Structure 1
């Protein structure tokens, strides 16, 4: 079954490692096979990865879209999560769940958990 995606005018997304930008009008795409894709709202730029949990998200994003450098991304990920757990042990449960997805090569699911990790980080920052 195909995945139907509707893009807003000028909306960008990554499909199979390629950045695709929609034109001036709404567009519908049917993705008929399994491929990595990220909508613009889920893409975090390197400049925006300016906190420990945001760097984790960015690294998982790279794992998901850049398979050619997977070993380097994994190495960075494991170092980042060690640092975060050391600084905030209360993140261990969420990071353990993310780790299961990482080990199982389910990077999109890990990204969704990394969003929750970033939300947790923001809550902690606001409460300080």
Structure 2
């Protein structure tokens, strides 16, 4: 069952809807009347911001929204990076989050996977800020 989704955009703000980039010329509200995948500009991670493993995973998921033609390649990258992250991290919080992201992606819930990953960024940042000797204990 589809539901109406209202998006309020500021002048110059972009939104990706089913792979198409839409930019608001002026402040506007859009109503999406059927099922569509969309990504607000405020949720888009730029390539130069993919400096950590979880941000790289986020970028791969994001790419499936922004560039549907590259979705298969982005999904393959996601799966490789997810496997590497599951082997690398020891933090129970991050590992539990990564398993949730795996399940969300398997269920086609990409936006939920992105939300889960974004919520893990502070924990990852804290681990990466630790001195190298203490990092392995995290």
TM-score (norm 1): 0.88
What stretches of structure 1 of length at least 5 have no aligned partner?
none
**Corresponding position of 1:49:** 50
Give the C-alpha shift of residue 58 in structure 1. Answer: 0.3
Give the C-alpha shift of residue 101 in structure 1. Answer: 0.7
Give the C-alpha shift of residue 79 in structure 1. Answer: 1.4
Within the candidate set 120, 124, 127, 2:127 is matched to 124
Report Cα offsets for 1:36-90 as digits up to 9, x if no partner: 1111110112222122111000001112343333332222112112222222122
TM-score (norm 2): 0.82
Q: Determine if contact 2:39/2:65 at 8 Å carries over to the other structure.
A: no
What stretches of structure 2 of length at least 5 have no aligned partner?
132-138
**Corresponding position of 1:11:** 13
RMSD over aligned Cα, in angstroms? 1.6
Q: Secondary structure at the match of 2:112?
A: helix
1:92 & 1:50 partners in 2: Cα distance?
19
